[in-house]
Amino acid sequence: MTILAKETTADKDADAGITVIPDKVYFRIGDVAEITGVKPYILRFWEKEFGLLQPMKNSSGQRIFRKKDVESVLLIKRLLYRERYSIEGAKKRIKELRKQKKLGSEKRKRGELDETKLKTLETVRSGLNELIKLASRTG
């Protein structure tokens, strides 16, 4: 059984940028879905298909993902949606990365910060600082 999800334009735009994983210890499935842009039912399917993805379950049976699990989801998403691997092909690629001891670096590879992106981030930061100053004066 193969479950495929349609990739939206928003997914492609999000992949073009950098996915920021919040600095938290644990994430619920809804949080992971929001961060990665992958629906919860697909995350549950991937959990069955990819041994790499093994979230813990809390006492009430809810899936609890760690940061490394979120990175794994992003790697799987990149292999399936951006690099167009099949499920079997993605499994083989992950196995190859493990053999080459490059799995960790591939999981953390979420986008490269080039000069344009750095300048854009600085512009956004300064704009936000201006808004904070403005709000503190009027509040």
Encode pLDDT of 125-138 as tens digits: 899 989 998 888 87
96 and 123 fall within a common domain: no
Structure tokens at 9: 């334009």
Residue 48 inside a domain? The answer is yes
Residue 25 inside a domain? The answer is yes
- Residue bearing the bigger pLDDT, 54 or 17: 54
- For residue 111, the 8-state DSSP code is -
Residue 83 inside a domain? The answer is yes
16 and 49 fall within a common domain: yes
65 and 37 fall within a common domain: yes
Residue 50 inside a domain? The answer is yes
Residue 32 inside a domain? The answer is yes
Residue 82 inside a domain? The answer is yes
Query: Across 23-123, where does the E strand assignment appear?
Result: 26-28, 56-57, 63-66
107-111: Cβ within 8 A, 24+ apart = 107/68, 107/71, 107/72, 107/74, 107/75, 108/71, 110/18, 110/19, 110/71, 110/74, 111/16, 111/17, 111/18, 111/19
Q: Which domain holds residue 120?
A: 113-139
The answer to whether 6 touches 37, Cβ cutoff 8 Å, is no
Domain count, the chain: 2
CA angle 62–29–34, rounded 5-degree value: 160
18 and 34 fall within a common domain: yes
- Residue bearing the bigger pLDDT, 104 or 133: 133
Residue 2 inside a domain? The answer is no
Model pLDDT for residues 13-22, shown as the tens digit of each residue: 444 457 788 8
95 and 121 fall within a common domain: no
Please state the pTM of the whole predicted model: 0.65
